[in-house]
A and B are shown apart, each in its own frame.
Chain A
Amino acid sequence: MLHETFAELRATFDSARRDETFWQSYVDVTTSYGGRPTPVTYCDNLSRTFGGARIYVKREDLNHTGAHKANNVMGQGLLVQRMGKRRVIAETGAGQHGVATATMAARLGLDCTIYMGEVDVARQHPNVFWMRQLGAEVVSVTDGTRTLKDAMNACLRDWADSMADTHYVMGTVCGPHPFPQLVTYFQSIIGQEARAQMLAVAGQLPSRVYACVGGGSNASGIFTGFLDDPETELVGVEAGGKGVETGEHAARLAGGQGSPGVAQGYKTVFLQNEEGLMRHTHSVAAGLDYIGIGPMLADLHQRGRVRFESATDAEVVEALRLTMRKEGIIPALESAHAFVAAFREAPTLADTSAILVNQSGRGDKDIFTVADALDDEDWKDFIGQTAARYAR
């Protein structure tokens, strides 16, 4: 159904890549509108707490709208302009990609529909509010597991009908060709900056780079900068949920429960049963709660270039609390997965070495989930009073 649409997108992307001014025009928007470059922050207190390697953080949380998702969206916005389409659609889990897409649509004067699983609409509601304020239509997806994969299915269904005037702004490095490549291309700005910044700030390349992996776009983005540095080990961190052994998680590679499959228009490692039916996934972080993984990352894993680990919900909340208290930095629940693995491994490394954590986003959106996890009495009082005021 979408054969001609993909051909058009591939052609547009290829000609943009060949155009020598295109990358610069992309960097220009991410600078003037998005706030790039984002800094690398040295975290002295965390480094002292764990001993061992010095801990540096790449601050993608400082992007406009608060996550790395904005990079890819600004890039695809340029492609939308080249194709002359007037409407965009996107899937979103945590809501960060949806909010970023809604800002782009507002700025470029495009109609915008965001599909979001019903479960995520409930747990990431601050982002639903902002998407609607920005003029986007937010559709709550009620079939399947009502999370990211189902939002992606809804986008593919919409697009199969609307392709003539609509572009699907895929939010991660998954889906049919050329999306994995295209999203990696735009997100590679993270790794390009980070490598130069590490040399300038730390005076050395990191011995390890940590990134959380939902679909894998922030990981692909930062890893790309270090692929040719064999002394830098790349570590992807998946959602361990309630523990990989419980089955309630979204770890496709770490733990070895994923298997090869072809669904949602692409071939990769999925969490599925023997007959190819997708399993239910679980994570405290909506953006990591997904069955598949970027095919290029799965390949890097198979070739031994990227190691995969997982972090449980409980470890994530603990790492988040510690990062806030020690450094005054508020990572998104997704990003906090990368911190967990870094904290686990830092003490085992020499204190002359440096490690880099990609903080893919900021945690403001998670206020309800985190307040719940921390069982914060004051917040519960406030919500109770607000609810009572609305009920009156």
Chain B
Amino acid sequence: MSLEGVLRRGLERKPILLMTHLVVGYPSLEDNWAMLEAMNQAGVDLVELQLPFSEPIADGPRFVKANHDAIQAGVSWSTYFSFASRAARIGFPVVFMGYYNSVFRMGAEAFCSRLAEAGLSGFIIPDLPPEEAVDLNTLARDCGLDPILTMTPTNSPERLAQIGRQASGFLYCTARTGVTGRQTDLSQGVAEFLRRCREATPLPLGLGFGIRTAKDVRVAREHSADIAIVGTAGTQAWEELGVEGYRSFLKGLVDA
């Protein structure tokens, strides 16, 4: 089934889905595996796995450190893909997240075939503008992969419409400008922003950047987001609360 199909089926059962995130190799592959098991138990709907990069310009301090520590620990493409293919067998859809230089160095064809072989559903490349991505996205669709594009509050209606036309799977809508990891005031303009995104595409809308608590997930749901995306807060919960605390953190988000 297509990624969009899986999401739509999920949305028949619940009003909002949950996507979680981890940087592969941070804090360690063993920790990552325990995180995935906790995600599965808690009922997380989909997961993004980040391939570490040395210049993660869309990330805030916590993920910058995670990227650099994972590189230091020696995480390579082959580490990433062998981990990702295990992760994809758990059951929930898994998507690639990473920076364009990794894709460029791998080559678009090799990138798509490695993702498809690993059983991933799509990819998020925050530093690749859609106009530069036309060839990659065409190749990807031929391999059954969905390019997941980003919409941001500063995008003009024309820009949103243009992104909407090229998107598939779902949209990653950032609740604010800037980088990952900072608090977001979700009462400010998010409803209006999601309305504009909705006008630009019929695909499911994921809301990310600054979603940290069950309350945030409820607010996202009230604003008719289809997926709540939790990134930095998840890594922070793992680091600060340990495995039990992480489980109840996820449970809280799923039950929100």
Stretch at the interface among A42-50, A154-162, A339-347: A154-162
A160 touches B179 (CB 8 A): yes
A270: chain B residues at CB < 8 Å are 101
Q: Does A135 contact B (CB under 8 A)?
A: no
Contact among A156, A261, A275 for B76, CB-based, below 8 A: A275
Alpha-carbon gap, A164 to B178, bound state (A): 11
A143 touches B129 (CB 8 A): no
B55 touches A264 (CB 8 A): yes
B57 touches A265 (CB 8 A): yes
Given contacts A261-B104, A275-B76, A277-B71, contact A161 B61 (CB under 8 A): no
Alpha-carbon gap, A265 to B154, bound state (A): 18
Given contacts A275-B76, A276-B104, contact A263 B99 (CB under 8 A): yes
Contact among A157, A161, A164, A274 for B105, CB-based, below 8 A: A274
B101: chain A residues at CB < 8 Å are 261-263, 270, 272, 276
Alpha-carbon gap, A278 to B150, bound state (A): 25
Alpha-carbon gap, A262 to B101, bound state (A): 5
Q: What distance in Å separates the Cβ of B244 from its nearest Cβ neighbour in chain A? A: 31
Mask of B27-58 contacts with A, CB within 8 angstroms, 1/0: 00000000000000000000000000111111
B154: chain A residues at CB < 8 Å are 1, 3-5, 163-164
Contact among B57, B60, B77 for A275, CB-based, below 8 A: B77
Q: Please name the residue on chain A nearest to B61 by beta carbon.
A: A143
A157 touches B57 (CB 8 A): yes
Q: Does A59 contact B (CB under 8 A)?
A: no
Q: Does A144 contact B (CB under 8 A)?
A: yes
Q: A175-204: which have CB < 8 Å to B? A: none
A156 touches B105 (CB 8 A): no
Given contacts A161-B177, A275-B76, contact A153 B105 (CB under 8 A): no
B129 touches A3 (CB 8 A): yes
Alpha-carbon gap, A261 to B68, bound state (A): 19
Q: Does A149 contact B (CB under 8 A)?
A: yes
Q: Does B117 contact A (CB under 8 A)?
A: no
Alpha-carbon gap, A278 to B155, bound state (A): 31
A264: chain B residues at CB < 8 Å are 55, 57
Count chain A CB atoms within 10 A of each CB in B57, B68, B76, B174 and give the residue with the most. Answer: B57
Q: Sorted from nearest, which 6 A-B pairs have the closest CB atoms? A: A161-B178, A276-B105, A276-B101, A278-B54, A277-B54, A156-B57
Q: Could you name 6 residue pairs across A and B whose Cβ atoms are closer than 8 Å? A: A1-B58, A156-B57, A157-B58, A161-B177, A163-B177, A260-B104
A: which residues have CB within 8 A of B? 1, 3-5, 143-144, 149, 153, 156-157, 160-161, 163-164, 260-265, 270, 272, 274-278
